[in-house]
Amino acid sequence: MTLLDFCRLIRKNLALFIALPVVFALACLGYLFIGHSDDAVYTASSRIVVSTHAADVSGLAAGQARAYTNSDEGIDVTQSVDFNAKTVTIIVSSPDEEQSINIANEVAEAVLAESRSFLPDNPDDPFNGRIEPAEEAAMSGSTDALIKYLAAAILAGLFVAVCLILIVNALRRPIRSIDNIQDRVELPVLETIPVSDGGERLLANIRFASKRKEVSSICLIPANDDSSVCLIRELLENALKTEQHSSEMVIKCEDSLSKSMKAAYTAREVDAAVLVATAWKDSMRDLESSAAELKLADANLVGIVLVES
Amino acid sequence: MMNRNKAVLAVLMVCCLMAAMALVACSSQSVSRSTASESFASSPTAEPSVDAMPTGVRYILVVGNDSWEGQPEHADMMCLLRVDLDNKIIHEISVPRDTKYDFGGGSFNKLNQMLTHGGVEAQTKAVSEVVGVPIDYYVMIKFDGLMNIVEHYGGLEVDLPYNITYSFYTNDYDDETFEAGDQILTPWRVMAISRARTGYGDQDIPNQEVVRQYIDRQMLTTLMQYAYQNGTDQIEPLFKLFQGDIQTNIPFDEQVAWAKTLGSNGSFEVIGTTGPFEGDIDPDTGLWLVTPDPNGWANLMNAVENGGDIQAAIDTYDYSSFADGISGMTSTTITVG
């Protein structure tokens, strides 16, 4: 299979290729929001801004953070310090939004109170501090995690879709090209549709391949998909009309042999029987079995018309 | 055709897996860089709650936890403190991080990996086995705690034996370059030098880890000097201030009582050295490991515990190629007040 064949295969199965990733993404969303809504973690941050002794306040904050951390209840309290900005940030994660906010503010107040009572009162370097309280708690990493899960689900959907398409393709063995037909069936491809000459070449090739002086009747038999057979009959009729000495010719369209055996009887009676194969819709198995059946019926099977799109 | 389908399928699977792996990105922590240097003058505080002076000997393992930017934590610095409250002596004995240790079932690795496997208690127990003395206590400090303490003092005086350029292995901060000699380091540079085991260039140092141990012990001793510079009255508020910066199983009252007892004579001695540090590529693991030396440890600890000749106990190790300051044993007197 060439890359071009693969692209065509995807195009033919575009609905599945799009639908499966969407289904996977929706399933992932459902799982996250319905099945695991209890696992949400909310993170709130409060900040202590001090005039001096940021390191000492950070040390006190680390002690308070450890005291408030309760792994059994999923409460995690950490702190970080910025010596240059003289700020100490209290970060609280817990399963409850309000709880995270409250603890973040409680710890900040406790640290500031401890700092005020504990740090030395130096008139040259007085300690001042204020709190920038936590006002909201964000679901921890929710956006990032959601994007990651969704992307993973879409990728999984694409992967499954591609696998399905390839497996079905491997089982069905659809007709892909002229080469594909000539490799497997010992019959000439008389023409590929669409054509630009109005069907003149197809008519000529049927006459040449029939090995008869006069071809007065033709039977068109689809390998399976019959949607293009009438179009080919119209092409041949138009080609006949454009001939200077147009002769009488009966062009019959039949159902595929998988539907009815009538085509085999008709094919025995006409001067030339032609199989119509539609790329990607008909399988090699359809074509091979039709050709074998027509040979058994002793029909003058002159060749194949390949409908490419 | 089936073979070609399989090939396409395999390529697609690999592409999808790679894309999925690319999505698993880790967020990184940020560390604030400090250049601040401010002095602190502590005011006297109330007397300690422990009336009776504690006596005897305490073994404490000081663990420098190298947790950094979400990387797994290791006990990269291990210093065993033998605190002799009766004779007012602290022995600081560095335990090489690369010491070969049996993690069970014949699985060998570096001793400092035990922190990752079993936590600080397991690390303390492992060091106790290697050193051959019962260690009941630990104090663990991470880089942010170390920087907080140094920031409290407005910097830390260090006498470096070599020039060194330290490169952060995470490549997210600029290199820190140090010149040999006396200097006062900012908290950030203290953090950098405390972890620097490489970056000495072509100065022909036989064992860079020994140099780091020497520097780390020196910094630990200097921090003790700072702690006692305003007398023992300062100890309790200082320790209270630093509780958040460390993790320890020593009750606060006992920390204060031991420290006050040590300083009760107006001074005490700190003797520093390192345990057996010589090693080679280990045939079991393919790692460079310090060869287990139970006899070496026994001789050293015997000298430490019985007031023997420590220098004689470590003379079997070759210090001749190190800079003059790294002679194997150091002795510092900490003056209180």
SS3 A186: coil
- Which residues in chain B have Cβ-Cβ distances shorter than 8 Å to A126? none
Q: Distance from first CA to last CA of chain B, Å, rounded?
A: 88
Helix (H) or strand (E) holding B184: strand B181-185
User: What b-and-e string marks burial along A12-39, b requiring 16 or more CB atoms within 10 Å of the CB?
Assistant: bbeebbeebbeebbeebeeebeeeeeee
Asked if the C-beta of B69 comes within 8 angstroms of chain A's C-beta atoms, the answer is: no
Give me the helices (H) in chain B, please.
2-23, 114-131, 143-153, 187-195, 208-228, 235-242, 252-262, 294-305, 310-314
Asked if the C-beta of B312 comes within 8 angstroms of chain A's C-beta atoms, the answer is: no
Please report the pLDDT score of residue A82 as a whole number.
92
Taking a C-beta distance cutoff of 8 angstroms, is the pair A217, A271 a contact?
yes
Q: What is the mean pLDDT of residues B272-292?
A: 92
In-domain check, residue B267: yes
Interchain contact, A156 vs B243, CB within 8 Å: no
Chosen for mutation from A10, A159, A177 (greatest number of chain B CBs closer than 10 Å) is A159
For residue B97, give the CATH number of its domain: 3.40.630.190
Which one of A6, A81, A155 has the shortest CB-CB distance to B19?
A: A155
Interchain contact, B34 vs A83, CB within 8 Å: yes
Chain pair A-B, CB pairs under 8 angstroms: 109
Most distant pair of Cα atoms in chain B: their distance: 91
Please report the pLDDT score of residue B45 as a whole number.
43
Asked if the C-beta of B27 comes within 8 angstroms of chain A's C-beta atoms, the answer is: yes
Q: What is the mean pLDDT of residues A99-105?
A: 95
Taking a C-beta distance cutoff of 8 angstroms, is the pair B139, B62 a contact?
yes
Interface of B with A in 144-173 (CB under 8 A): 144-145, 147-152
Interface of B with A in 70-89 (CB under 8 A): none
- Which residues in chain B have Cβ-Cβ distances shorter than 8 Å to A154? none
Q: Residue B43 has which token pair? A: 């005011």
Which one of B32, B41, B144 has the shortest CB-CB distance to A120?
A: B41
Count of the separate structural domains present in chain B: 1
Interchain contact, A120 vs B40, CB within 8 Å: yes
Q: At what angle are helices B235-242 and B143-153 packed, to 10 degrees?
A: 140
Q: What is the mean pLDDT of residues B141-159?
A: 94
- Nearest C-alpha neighbor of A199 from the set A151, A251, A161: A251
- Which residues in chain A have Cβ-Cβ distances shorter than 8 Å to B240? 118
Chosen for mutation from B148, B188, B243 (greatest number of chain A CBs closer than 10 Å) is B148
Interchain contact, A159 vs B38, CB within 8 Å: no
**Cα–Cα distance between B248 and B166 in angstroms, integer?**
29
Asked if the C-beta of B280 comes within 8 angstroms of chain A's C-beta atoms, the answer is: no
In-domain check, residue B23: no
Q: Quickly state the pLDDT bin for A38 (edges 50, 70, 90).
A: low
Chosen for mutation from A57, A68, A83 (greatest number of chain B CBs closer than 10 Å) is A83
Taking a C-beta distance cutoff of 8 angstroms, is the pair B78, B71 a contact?
no
Interchain contact, A52 vs B23, CB within 8 Å: no
CATH 3.40.50.300 given to domain A178-307: yes
Q: Quickly state the pLDDT bin for A134 (edges 50, 70, 90).
A: very high
- Which residues in chain B have Cβ-Cβ distances shorter than 8 Å to A58? 144, 148, 244-245
Taking a C-beta distance cutoff of 8 angstroms, is the pair B178, B160 a contact?
yes
Interchain contact, A158 vs B16, CB within 8 Å: yes
Q: Convert the pLDDT of each residue in B189-211 to its tens digit.
A: 999 999 998 888 878 888 899 99
B172 or B212, higher pLDDT: B212
Interchain contact, B24 vs A148, CB within 8 Å: yes
Please report the pLDDT score of residue A88 as a whole number.
95
Across chain B, mean pLDDT equals 85
All CATH 3.40.50.300 domain ranges of chain A, comma separated, are 178-307
- CATH superfamily name and code, A41-139: Ribosomal protein S10 (3.30.70.600)
Please report the pLDDT score of residue B8 as a whole number.
47
All CATH 3.30.70.600 domain ranges of chain A, comma separated, are 41-139
- Per the listing, tokens 């491997």 go with A170
**Cα–Cα distance between B137 and B194 in angstroms, integer?**
22
SS3 A248: coil
| Phi and psi, residue B195, nearest 5° | -110, -5
B16 or A287, higher pLDDT: A287
Write the ipTM.
0.72
Domain that holds residue B44: 40-335
Please report the pLDDT score of residue A143 as a whole number.
65
Interchain contact, B16 vs A118, CB within 8 Å: no
Q: Convert the pLDDT of each residue in A188-247 to its tens digit.
A: 999 998 888 888 899 999 999 988 888 899 999 999 888 888 899 999 988 888 887 767
- Cα atoms found within 13 Å of the Cα of residue A259, Cβ hemisphere only: 10
**Cα–Cα distance between B336 and A243 in angstroms, integer?**
122
- Nearest C-alpha neighbor of B138 from the set B269, B270, B250, B21: B250
Q: Convert the pLDDT of each residue in B92-146 to its tens digit.
A: 999 999 999 999 888 999 999 999 999 999 999 999 999 999 999 999 999 999 9
B27 or A215, higher pLDDT: A215
Q: What is the mean pLDDT of residues B295-320?
A: 91
Interstrand relation of A217-222 and A250-253 (parallel, antiparallel or unpaired): parallel
Question: How close is the nearest chain A Cα to the Cα of B156, in Å?
Answer: 14
**Cα–Cα distance between B82 and B89 in angstroms, integer?**
8
A176: left (phi over 0), alpha (psi -120 to 50) or beta: alpha
Cβ atoms within 10 A of the Cβ of B227, count?
21
- Which residues in chain A have Cβ-Cβ distances shorter than 8 Å to B12? 159, 162-163
- Nearest C-alpha neighbor of B224 from the set B156, B285, B160, B289: B156
Which one of B13, B32, B43 has the shortest CB-CB distance to A82?
A: B32
Q: Quickly state the pLDDT bin for B37 (edges 50, 70, 90).
A: very low
Asked if the C-beta of B249 comes within 8 angstroms of chain A's C-beta atoms, the answer is: no
Cβ atoms within 10 A of the Cβ of A286, count?
24
Taking a C-beta distance cutoff of 8 angstroms, is the pair B216, B64 a contact?
yes
Taking a C-beta distance cutoff of 8 angstroms, is the pair B78, B61 a contact?
yes
